[in-house]
Amino acid sequence: MTRRVRLEWLLVSVLLLVLFSPNAFGELIFSQPKSVYNFGDEFNFTLNLVGEREVSDFLSVALVCGEEEREIYRAPLTLAKDEQRQIEVETRIDEFIVGQEGDCYLRASYDGQEANSQRFRITREVSVFLSLHGATFYPNDKMAVSGEAVKENGEKLDGFVEISIEGMGLNLTREVKDGEFNFSFTIPETAPPGKYVVRANAYEKNAEGKKVNSGSASAGFAVGKVVKRIDIAIHSLSVKPTQSLMFEALAYDQAGQSTREEASLKITDPEGNVVEKKAVLTGTPQEFKIGSNFTSGNWQISLSLGKDLEVKKSFFVEEYEKVEFELLNNTLVVRNVGNVPFTGPLEIRIGNFREVVNIDNLGVGKEIELLLAAPDGDYEVSVSDARRSEKLGTAFLTGKAVSVREKRDSSFGSWLVLFWSAVILVLGVVSIFFLGRVFKGKFVGRMPGLPFSRKRAKEPAQTKSSASEDIIREGKREECGLMVLRIKNENALKESATKEVVESALRRVKDEGAKLYKLGQHHVAVFAPSITRASDNSQTLARAASKLSELLKAHNKTHANKIDFGVGIELGELIVETKEQGKFKFISVDNTLAKLKRIAELSSGEVFLGERIYRRLAGKVKTEKTKHANIWKLAKPIGTEEHEDFIARFKQRQSEK
Give one DSSP letter per residue of 518-555, joined into a string: EETTEEEEEE-HHHH--S--HHHHHHHHHHHHHHHHHH
- pLDDT for 410: 46
Per-residue pLDDT at 2 exceeds 60: no
- Residue 219 CA to residue 198 CA, distance in Å, equals 5
- Residue 510 CA to residue 527 CA, distance in Å, equals 9
Interval 41-79: pLDDT, tens: 888 999 999 888 888 999 999 999 988 888 889 999 988
Closest by CA position to 276, among listed 248, 251, 292, 299: 299
Q: Give the distance between the most distant pair of CA atoms in the chain.
A: 212
- pLDDT for 456: 35
Per-residue pLDDT at 20 exceeds 50: no
Interval 319-345: pLDDT, tens: 998 888 888 888 999 999 988 898 888
Measure the CA angle with vertex 500, ends 496 and 504; round to 5°.
180
Q: How confident is the model at residue 473 (pLDDT cuts 50, 70, 90)?
A: low
Per-residue pLDDT at 413 exceeds 70: no
Q: Using CA of residue 256, residue 257, residue 261, residue 265, what is the dihedral sign?
A: positive
Residues 208-213: contacts with CB within 8 Å, 24+ apart? 212/38, 212/39, 212/40, 212/94, 212/124, 213/38, 213/39, 213/40, 213/123, 213/124, 213/125, 213/126, 213/151, 213/157, 213/159
- Residue 176 CA to residue 183 CA, distance in Å, equals 11
Running DSSP on this structure, what letter comes out for residue 283? T
For 304, half-sphere exposure in the C-beta direction (CA atoms, 13 angstrom radius) is 9
- pLDDT for 651: 54
Domains and CATH numbers, the chain: 23-122 (2.60.40.10), 126-223 (2.60.40.1930), 227-317 (2.60.40.1930), 323-406 (2.60.40), 475-656 (3.30.70.1230)
- pLDDT for 461: 33
Tell how far CA 254 is from the center of its chain.
20
- pLDDT for 361: 87
- pLDDT for 215: 94
Interval 419-472: pLDDT, tens: 666 767 777 666 665 555 444 443 333 333 333 333 333 333 333 333 334 455
Interval 180-236: pLDDT, tens: 999 888 999 899 999 999 999 999 988 888 888 999 999 999 999 999 999 999 999
Average pLDDT, the chain: 83
- Residue 623 CA to residue 601 CA, distance in Å, equals 19
Q: How confident is the model at residue 160 (pLDDT cuts 50, 70, 90)?
A: very high
From 64-78, 256-270, 639-653, the region with the lowest mean pLDDT: 639-653
- pLDDT for 104: 93
Tell how far CA 31 is from the center of its chain.
83
Cα dist. 340→303, 305, 366, 594 in Å?
29, 35, 11, 10
381 has which bridge partners? 350, 393
Per-residue pLDDT at 86 exceeds 70: yes
Contact status, residue 545 vs residue 566, Cβ threshold 8 Å = no
- Residue 348 CA to residue 473 CA, distance in Å, equals 12
Running DSSP on this structure, what letter comes out for residue 581? G
Interval 477-500: pLDDT, tens: 889 999 999 998 887 776 667 778
- pLDDT for 619: 82
Phi, psi of 593 (to 5 degrees): -65, -40
- Residue 492 CA to residue 498 CA, distance in Å, equals 10
- Residue 122 corresponds to which amino acid? I
Burial of 316 (0-12, 13-18, 19+ CB in 10 A): middle
Per-residue pLDDT at 127 exceeds 90: yes
- pLDDT for 300: 95
What are the DSSP calls for 447-515, one per residue?
PPPPSS-SSPPPPPPPPPPTTGGG--SS-EEEEEEEEEEEETTGGG---HHHHHHHHHHHHHHHHTT-E
Interval 368-412: pLDDT, tens: 999 999 988 889 999 988 778 889 889 888 888 888 988 875 444
Per-residue pLDDT at 14 exceeds 50: no
Contact status, residue 30 vs residue 47, Cβ threshold 8 Å = yes
Closest by CA position to 194, among listed 163, 219, 220, 230: 220
The stretch 554-578 carries a mean pLDDT of 88
